[in-house]
Amino acid sequence: MIKIIYGEDAFRAHEALEELRREIESGDALGGSSTELDGATVRPEELLNASLTMPLLGGRRLIIVRGLLGRFEAKRRTKRTKAKSDGDSENHAGPLGDWQAVVDALPDLPESTVLALVDGKIGARNPLLAALSKAAEVQQFAVLKKGELAGWIRERAELYGARLEGRAIAAMADLVGADLWAIDGELRKLATYAGGGVISEANVRSMVSQVREANAFALADAIVEGRGNQAIALFQRLLADGDAPLRLLALIARQYRLLIQARELLDQRLAPAEIGNRLGVHGFVAQRILQQAPPYSADQLRSAYGRLLEADLSIKRGIYNDETALELLIFELANASPSRRRGTPGYSRPPAGRGAAPARAARG
């Protein structure tokens, strides 16, 4: 069996993978087993060997490959690069190259093997996705729209034995946004507090004490994943709530430091659990970092971190005030993200120029 799990909504994609893992473990007398491969570096023969090998003691086997589909995303090429590649022998092997042999072999996987390809945002024209779709079970998880989010919050609360008033659901969506990781955590706390009772809007607003922190981390995620419009909206909301731009800059810098370290450890082919231990992060934080790092090269991450240092210096030297410097930085980092969907309308870059720093707008 081949499963493809992808989309911008990393929370629901993560849950789908965990459900698959539980299904294999609970339905197998031997408990099942799982193997994780880095799709950004795995070779065709490595994936074939892992997929076609029968488990030594029998039972079912789950092979998880993260980031493989992303390797086949279309990249913009110059005319010179295109002309050169058109003359290469590999170009005549088709869009999948050596991976075509893998595609041809995967439908004949042993019944004991479940191959799960897990990825983030993938374009509709991705050749590997198109080639495998007919033989695979595909689950796509787009970011929930406003109406869908309200329904998800209601259902999630019921899962934890809680019931939210309509205004409480609206307050949760307004305070936390579409970050399902943060919403899930807050709903768990509220369900414990309510003890099976109805949760009101006042309960939500008084109990969701870490919303601003959650939004700050959601801001960093949106930047890294190339969601420029959402990043700017979160940034403006955090400013309106009185958050300090320099604190946000520090949180964004921390995210890129983790990504740089994760990229280096992935290149060393360490297991995800070991990477989490070395980074000092666990749970969904480690999961997000391991999903975000593969699309980037080490050079791209170092370049982004250098841009962070430049923004910090521009503030200290008075070239820009802190809000303007951070807004420019968010625009540039989000648009430089390899995860950014081509053709998606981006945020309009604010006017820039050297000279005296603009005066900070007063906040009431």
- Percentage of residues in the chain with pLDDT exceeding 90? 34
Confidence at 303, pLDDT banded by 50, 70, 90: very high
Do 151 and 196 belong together in one domain?
yes
pLDDT tens for 18-30 read: 899 888 877 554 5
Do 156 and 232 belong together in one domain?
no
- Residue 219 scores a pLDDT above 50: yes
Q: Higher confidence at residue 277 or residue 55?
A: 277
pLDDT at 57: 60
Do 234 and 289 belong together in one domain?
yes
Query: What average pLDDT does the segment 58-73 reach?
Result: 86
Do 132 and 193 belong together in one domain?
no
Domain-ending residue, one of 209, 225, 252? 209
- What's the structural domain count of the chain? 3
**Could you list the residue range(s) of the whole structural domain that residue 264 is in?**
215-336
Determine the Cα–Cα distance for residues 266 and 270; give it in Å rounded to an integer: 6
**Domain assignment present for 310:** yes
- Predicted TM-score (pTM) of the model is 0.56
Rg of the chain on CA atoms, in Å = 23
SS3 of residue 22 by DSSP: helix
**Domain assignment present for 37:** yes
Containing 350, the helix (H) or strand (E) segment is none
What CATH number is associated with residue 275? 1.20.272.10
Mean residue pLDDT across the chain: 81
CA distances from 110 to 24, 44, 101, 174 (A): 15, 17, 17, 48
Do 247 and 316 belong together in one domain?
yes
Do 135 and 235 belong together in one domain?
no
Do 182 and 242 belong together in one domain?
no
Q: Are 326 and 235 in contact (CB under 8 A)?
A: yes
- Residue 281 scores a pLDDT above 50: yes
Burial of 131 (0-12, 13-18, 19+ CB in 10 A): buried
What CATH number is associated with residue 35? 3.40.50.300
Q: Are 275 and 286 in contact (CB under 8 A)?
A: yes
Q: What phi-psi label fits residue 355: left (phi over 0), alpha (psi between -120 and 50 degrees) or beta?
A: left
Beta strands 163-164 and 198-199, pairing class: parallel
